[in-house]
């Protein structure tokens, strides 16, 4: 089902010799789910507008050809020639106005003539000429491609909505065959076997488990998913402290299989596909955030890459058994210190900031968000962490080799502190705290994975709905993912909302610091 959907953009968008922008489908999923009102946990099915600004923008940026980073003069010369040739070919093959056809053909032929007679130009000369050609031809090329690109974006959305409808019908049929009465108000995301919220659930599917060296292999109906043994142990610990309906672990393997399969399907089976969208901060940075700023909660994570025991993630139906509080845009804390390292999707990051501002305005209790985002601004933030001088953990950390766990960031990272007055007083970014955080971010040849366990069992005063049971406190440590009251797990939003209403009498001035 979904692999077919993922291949459709590649087949459809291979027009005029243009391959789909790398990771564009994954970013489309993220952008659509920000506004999606449909029931499927993965596939968008009720979005307005139908045409995705993210997908439209990315495809348009690669028309008439994809522009790449240039290091040498010969590369710049070839790129200029390819652009002129592609622009001329496109304008000839499309229904363009006589004026557009004239402008593009003249500029393209003039550029080719210049390339044939001038062999002493520098790299900068070629790049200047390319920029001039883009300014002259770009608007005309965009105009003739606009309808086709909008049609592609619309087609992808319609396919997604159709698959979402079929999935829901299949879920309902399977449950009806098993004699399960499903209320019409239950979202499709809660129709998985063993999911919370159903009055009656069928027996979990039988999943087989075996180990191959350091890899746990789970097999279901001839299909296998794999996870590193350390991460498998981590999932066991998270499940023990977060799941309240399965004390004997009878449904554990089936839920792990669903979890792994969901993320595998979302990001695809290609080499390193989607891993950049699920990258995580180094362990040393999380430890510094916990020590210096009281952070004990991740706003964007998954059971596979989380460091702390509590986090928000995209899929509550599969992740909720392992500590997830659901999507962050639906999570409303009134106090506490939080880390946010969102996927690099502009629409998602915009919605995240809006949500932060609303939460800070509504609470007078200590509230702090430390945000890690790519440094895309020009000029850059003076105190950003430079490219290649810091690392991230791979999004495929649960299946990759130890020596592939960390990778150098090819972009700068800005660290932003969004805090209300009380949060600033308690967790303000003092020079001493910032010094330890920046030191923790530096690459180290001695980094170890230590990823089989989430972070410290640190409970901040803001975690009012996260106080551990007395029987759990003695077990909570760096190696334990426990430390919160599972009985309150599903009531966090309600308690947060009531606390927010009682503490919103003042609207403190938010304090923002940039590191």
Per-residue model confidence as pLDDT tens digits over 179-207: 776 665 555 444 444 444 444 456 677 89
Which has the higher per-residue pLDDT, 409 or 37?
37
Cross-strand bridge partners of residue 406? 393
The arithmetic mean of pLDDT across residues 167-178, rounded, is 83
Nearest of 490, 400, 482, 387 to residue 443 by alpha carbon? 387
Residue 120 confidence (pLDDT): 85
Mean predicted lDDT score pLDDT of the chain: 78
Residue 244 confidence (pLDDT): 87
The arithmetic mean of pLDDT across residues 422-440, rounded, is 93
Please give the span between the terminal C-alpha atoms of the chain, in angstroms, as a whole number. 44
Run of H or E residues at 173: helix 123-177
Please list the helix, strand and coil fractions of the chain in percent, rounded to the nearest 5, in that order: 50, 10, 40
Tokens 């062999």 correspond to what residue?
119
List pLDDT tens digits, range 461-478.
333 333 333 333 323 222
Q: Is the pLDDT of residue 150 over 70?
A: yes
Nearest of 116, 114, 111 to residue 132 by alpha carbon? 111
The arithmetic mean of pLDDT across residues 311-318, rounded, is 92
The whole-angstrom separation of Cα 508 and Cα 515 is 22
The whole-angstrom separation of Cα 399 and Cα 217 is 11
Residue 451 confidence (pLDDT): 39
Q: Is the pLDDT of residue 315 over 60?
A: yes
Residue 211 confidence (pLDDT): 95
Local structure of 297: helix, strand or coil: strand
Buried/exposed 247-276: b ≥16 CB within 10 Å, e otherwise:
eeeebbbbbbbbbbebbbebbbeeeebbbb
The whole-angstrom separation of Cα 356 and Cα 338 is 11
Token pair belonging to 486: 């599972």
Q: Is the pLDDT of residue 350 over 90?
A: yes
The Cα angle at residue 268 between residues 20 and 172, in degrees rounded to 5: 115
Residue 16 confidence (pLDDT): 53
- Cβ atoms of 511 and 420 within 8 Å: the answer is yes
Residues near 494 by beta carbon (within 8 Å), at least 6 away in sequence: none
Token pair belonging to 89: 């070919």
List pLDDT tens digits, range 361-376.
999 999 999 999 887 6
Residues near 433 by beta carbon (within 8 Å), at least 6 away in sequence: 292, 293
Q: What percent of the chain has pLDDT over 90?
A: 50
Helix axis angle for 431-441 and 283-293, nearest 10°, is 170
Residue 34's pLDDT band (cuts 50, 70, 90): very high
| DSSP character at residue 379 | S
- Cβ atoms of 65 and 41 within 8 Å: the answer is no
Highest averaged pLDDT of the listed ranges 169-183, 426-440, 448-462: 426-440
Helix axis angle for 123-177 and 73-93, nearest 10°, is 60
Residue 380 confidence (pLDDT): 56
The arithmetic mean of pLDDT across residues 342-369, rounded, is 94
Token pair belonging to 139: 């608007």
Residue 359 confidence (pLDDT): 97
What is the domain partition of the chain in residue ranges?
Answer: 1-170, 208-267, 283-297+333-441
Residues near 284 by beta carbon (within 8 Å), at least 6 away in sequence: 440, 441, 444, 447
The whole-angstrom separation of Cα 197 and Cα 434 is 44
Q: Is the pLDDT of residue 457 over 90?
A: no
Nearest of 175, 166, 164, 100 to residue 138 by alpha carbon? 100
Q: What percent of the chain has pLDDT over 70?
A: 69
Local structure of 367: helix, strand or coil: strand
List pLDDT tens digits, range 270-307.
666 655 666 788 899 999 999 999 999 999 999 999 99
The arithmetic mean of pLDDT across residues 49-61, rounded, is 91
Residue 445 confidence (pLDDT): 60
Of the ranges 310-314, 413-417, 453-457, which one carries the lowest mean pLDDT score? 453-457
Which has the higher per-residue pLDDT, 502 or 334?
334
Of the ranges 86-95, 233-242, 316-325, 436-445, which one carries the lowest mean pLDDT score? 436-445
The whole-angstrom separation of Cα 182 and Cα 201 is 10
Cross-strand bridge partners of residue 372? 415
The arithmetic mean of pLDDT across residues 89-106, rounded, is 92
Residues near 230 by beta carbon (within 8 Å), at least 6 away in sequence: 214, 449, 451, 452
Run of H or E residues at 392: strand 391-393
Alpha helices for 406-461 (secondary structure H)? 421-427, 431-441
- Edge-to-edge strand order for the sheet containing 223-228? 208-212, 215-220, 223-228
Rg (CA), the chain: 25
Local structure of 32: helix, strand or coil: helix
Residue 191 confidence (pLDDT): 42
Highest averaged pLDDT of the listed ranges 60-74, 123-137, 265-279, 490-504: 123-137
Residue 405 confidence (pLDDT): 60
List pLDDT tens digits, range 229-252.
999 999 999 999 898 889 999 999
- Edge-to-edge strand order for the sheet containing 297-298? 310-311, 297-298, 336-340, 367-374, 413-419, 511-514
Nearest of 209, 164, 218 to residue 191 by alpha carbon? 164
- Cβ atoms of 429 and 417 within 8 Å: the answer is yes
Residue 379 confidence (pLDDT): 59
Q: Is the pLDDT of residue 430 over 50?
A: yes
- Cβ atoms of 194 and 254 within 8 Å: the answer is yes
Nearest of 485, 494, 488 to residue 467 by alpha carbon? 485
């Amino acid at each position: 089902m979904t692999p077919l959907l993922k291949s459709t953009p590649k087949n459809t968008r291979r027009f005029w010799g243009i391959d789909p922008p790398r990771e564009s489908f994954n970013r489309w999923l993220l952008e659509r789910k920000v506004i999606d009102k449909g029931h499927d946990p993965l596939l968008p099915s009720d979005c307005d507008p139908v045409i995705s600004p993210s997908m439209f923008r990315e495809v348009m940026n690669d028309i008439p050809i994809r522009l790449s980073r240039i290091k040498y003069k010969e590369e710049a010369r070839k790129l200029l020639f390819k652009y002129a040739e592609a622009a001329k070919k496109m304008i000839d093959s499309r229904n363009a106005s006589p004026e557009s056809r004239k402008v593009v053909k003249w500029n393209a032929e003039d550029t080719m003539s210049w390339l044939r007679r001038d062999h002493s130009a520098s790299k900068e000369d070629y790049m200047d000429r390319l920029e001039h050609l883009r300014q002259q031809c770009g608007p005309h090329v965009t105009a003739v491609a606009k309808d086709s690109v909008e049609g592609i974006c619309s087609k992808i959305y319609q396919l997604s909505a159709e698959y979402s409808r079929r999935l829901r019908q299949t879920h309902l049929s399977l449950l009806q065959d098993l004699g399960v009465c499903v209320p019409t108000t239950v979202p499709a995301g809660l129709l998985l076997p063993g999911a919370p919220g159903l009055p009656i659930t069928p027996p979990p599917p039988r999943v087989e488990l075996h180990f191959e060296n350091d890899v746990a292999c789970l097999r279901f109906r001839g299909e296998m998913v794999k996870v590193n043994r350390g991460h498998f142990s981590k999932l066991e610990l998270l499940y023990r402290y977060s799941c309240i309906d399965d004390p004997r672990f009878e449904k554990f393997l089936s839920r792990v299989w669903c979890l792994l399969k969901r993320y595998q399907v979302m990001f695809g089976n290609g080499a390193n596909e989607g891993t950049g969208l699920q990258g995580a901060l180094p362990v040393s940075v999380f430890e510094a955030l916990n020590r210096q700023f009281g952070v004990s909660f991740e706003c964007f994570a998954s059971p596979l890459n989380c460091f702390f025991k509590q986090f928000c993630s995209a899929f509550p139906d599969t992740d909720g058994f392992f500590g997830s509080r659901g999507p962050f845009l639906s999570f409303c804390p009134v106090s506490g210190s939080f880390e946010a390292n969102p996927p690099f999707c502009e629409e998602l990051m915009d919605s995240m900031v809006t949500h932060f501002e609303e939460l800070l305005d509504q609470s007078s209790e200590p509230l702090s968000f430390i945000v890690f985002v790519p440094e895309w601004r020009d000029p850059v933030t003076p105190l950003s962490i430079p490219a290649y001088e810091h690392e991230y953990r791979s999004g495929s950390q649960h299946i990759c080799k130890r020596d592939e766990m960390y990778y150098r960031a090819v972009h700068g990272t800005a660290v932003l502190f969004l805090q209300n007055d009380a949060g600033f007083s308690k967790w303000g970014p003092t020079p001493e705290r910032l010094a330890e955080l920046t030191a923790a971010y530096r690459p180290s040849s001695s980094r170890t994975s230590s990823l089989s366990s989430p972070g410290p069992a640190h409970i901040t005063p803001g975690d009012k709905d996260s106080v551990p049971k007395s029987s759990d406190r003695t077990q909570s440590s760096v190696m334990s993912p426990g430390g919160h009251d599972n009985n309150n797990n599903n009531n966090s939003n309600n308690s947060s909302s009531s606390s927010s209403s009682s503490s919103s009498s003042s609207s403190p001035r938010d304090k923002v610091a940039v590191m």
